[in-house]
Structure 1
């Protein structure tokens, strides 16, 4: 495991311990797939306190994607694939958004107001972009570039989870596969999943690139000509280690076959 990209935790960086923003696991993995998990953590560095939120809110989906990291780590093991994941909550800055977008730092998530993100001055916003966004995506760029040049990486998979109910509307899908113009990888995995008639599979559900949730894959896969795939698993299915392992075991052979077919 390689820890990288640290941010200052207090107002005086020289006087504070550094905070890890990005973690690279299995960096020597042989798989042509790079796994990324941007919403892996609910951790808030000390400088942000609780952002005015309750413990229950900080455990909820607004702070992270529950279960996504566990699935990604098990996939990393099963596929022998490298994994880059965040270790800072998306409440500080959403790594899957362009940093110039207003919602890269949420002030309202679904129906929850985030007091500590209200009325940020430009200096604080710039600090978060530099210390969180630039640090994380710089780590991914630095890791992936030599692998692509060496022909070792052909596709990028971004792992996420979604809530069973959003704004009082139940979501029927067990899993969603999100893709843009390059649907090769997504279609391959879809074909494998649909062999199980009990699974409800959504293509570009519950989100699509039109919702501006494809930023990481645009930056790290599409512009390099790599096959992109964003996977969303309903989070009540992966709350436990058993659920995470089960979904990883289901997905691993489909991802392996899809990558080989590219």
Structure 2
């Protein structure tokens, strides 16, 4: 985990499409000592959205747009939470204690925010503004992934993909309709999470710019390898193109 930065940007073309991934990485600076967690835990869904970075990059590549992703684990600080959130720096995640996040002083909490949360959102702002200047207002896609089964759950979550929406319901409805017509997947409508309750990065950066957008959740077992990523990215890219017609 020595290859570390706050965020990464890659442009695959000049199309007005901006794909970003808040929970792309499980990386941490060496001085954080993995927050006291073993390496195997850092490879699970509590540390990052498994497959989401690869899916976001594949989607941006197919659409010839811009790809932006985080460079740090959400266990360090969650970029998709406001700084006032109780789970901004989680003491536990899916019932697993995070030793390095317990008993943090207020000074430690503020230092984490200044070191990670603030510069991440500054760079996301800059990347969006640069894209608007170069290509015009982009269609924005926020990519997340969700574990197929939470700790202690008796059954897998049933959705293959979820479309989360609050402000841009037409784009979400359009994609839901496209996926239901062209696949046999079960599609979540504000499932497994509800963007009307929280979707911080989109609410902070995308809504105020009045940009059309999608927030997409993909089930992690479906994008755990390159073949799965390609399958989902092919369908989603065709869906985005259909929405633009």
Q: Shorter-chain TM-score: which interval?
A: over 0.9
Once the two structures are TM-superposed, the CA of residue 181 in structure 1 deviates from its matched residue by: 3.1
1:52, distance to aligned residue in structure 2 (A):
1.6
What TM-score, normalized to structure 1? 0.87
Whether 1:61 aligns to 2:45 is: yes
Residue 141 in structure 1 maps to residue 117 in structure 2: no
On the 8 A contact 1:190/1:201 being kept in 2, the answer is: yes
- 1:22 has 2:35 as partner: no
Aligned-partner Cα distance in 1 for 2:213–2:135: 16
Q: Is the 2:180–2:187 contact (alpha carbons within 8 Å) kept by the matching residues of 1?
A: yes
Q: Is the 8 A contact 1:93 1:132 kept in 2?
A: yes
| In 2: Cα distance, 1:105 partner to 1:228 partner | 27
Shift, 1:222, TM fit: 0.5
Q: Secondary structure at the match of 1:51?
A: helix
Indicate how the Cα distance of structure 1 residues 152 and 122 shifts in structure 2: closer, same or farther if over 3 A, else same.
same
Q: Distance in 2 between matches of 1:44 and 1:225?
A: 33
Matched position secondary structure for 1:170:
coil
Are 1:240 and 2:217 matched, yes or no? Answer: no
The match for 1:9 is none
Report what 1:52 is aligned to. Answer: 36
- Structure 1: runs of 5+ lacking an equivalent: 1-16
Contact 1:98 1:215 in 2 (8 A): yes
CA contact 2:160–2:219 (8 Å) conserved in 1: yes
> For the residues of structure 2 that align with 1:223 and 1:70, how far apart are their CA atoms?
27
Pick closer, same or farther for the CA change 1:19–1:222 going to 2, 3 Å. same
- Please report the RMSD computed on the Cα atoms of aligned residues, expressed in angstroms: 1.8
Cα shift at 1:153: 2.5
1:219 aligns with 2:216: no
1:84 aligns with 2:64: no
Q: What is the CA–CA distance in structure 2 between the aligned matches of 1:92 and 1:78, rounded to whole Å? A: 31
Structure 2: how far apart are the matches of 1:220 and 1:29? 22
Consecutive unaligned residues in structure 2, runs of 5 or more: none
**How much does 1:61 deviate?**
0.2
Normalising by structure 2, report the TM-score. 0.93
Aligned to 1:181: 167
CA contact (8 A) 2:14 2:134 kept: no
Q: Indicate conservation of the 8 Å contact 1:99/1:129, yes or no.
A: yes
Tell me, what secondary structure is at the counterpart of 1:119? Answer: coil
Report the alpha carbon displacement of residue 31 of structure 1 after superposing the two structures with TM: 2.3
Matching residue of 1:256: 241
Contact 2:4 2:28 in 1 (8 A): no
| 3-state SS of paired residue (2:87) | helix
Q: CA deviation at 1:140?
A: 1.0
